[in-house]
Amino acid sequence: MSEIISSLNWLAVIVATVVYFALGALWYSNLLFAKTWMKLRNVTEEDIGEPNPVIFLYSFILQFIAVASLALFMKAMGIGSAGNGALIGFGAGAGFVFTLAGTTGIFSEVPMKLHFLDNGYHVIGLVLAGLVLGWW
């Protein structure tokens, strides 16, 4: 196991994490889904106020862990192309994140639109991360 971890391209993991994180900035901006997200969450900009910058650090760390895990899967499977990386990213996003978060959402009564918005972001983020990892 340690040889797989040490053989990862950590620069690619960092770049893929930055791409995933940047997607989040765009995804939840006024250019895309901020207004829809706020409506589905029943919050206003005034309710949110200025977010604590620490939540962005935590988010980046969690996404780094997800991307590093994706890189481990890809390394173990011998995936070395952008297209296959994107496919594995889609499998991880749609097959694990989207479905399992959906299971939790059903029991916590998350609106289906909110589930698609929040977890669709992770599916696309993991596709992009897989693309970067496979390309590198």
CA torsion sign for 93, 97, 103, 107 is: negative
Can you tell me the mean pLDDT for 105-115?
A: 95
Q: Nearest CA to 12 among 96, 130, 123, 91? A: 130
**What's the burial of 128, exposed, middle or buried (CB within 10 Å: 0-12/13-18/19+)?**
buried
Largest CA distance in the chain: 49
Query: Which residues constitute the domain of residue 46?
Result: 2-135
What pLDDT is recorded for position 1? 63
Give CA–CA dist 24/99, Å, rounded: 20
Domain count, the chain: 1
Q: What is the pLDDT of residues 31-67, one digit of tens each?
A: 999 999 999 999 999 998 888 999 999 999 999 999 9
Is 28's pLDDT higher than 80?
yes
Tokens standing for 35?
């207004």
Q: Residue 113's pLDDT band (boundaries 50, 70, 90)?
A: very high
Give the global pTM: 0.94
Across 3-7, 30-34, 110-114, 124-128, least confident range: 3-7
Q: Can you list the positions of beta strands (E) in 30-112?
A: none
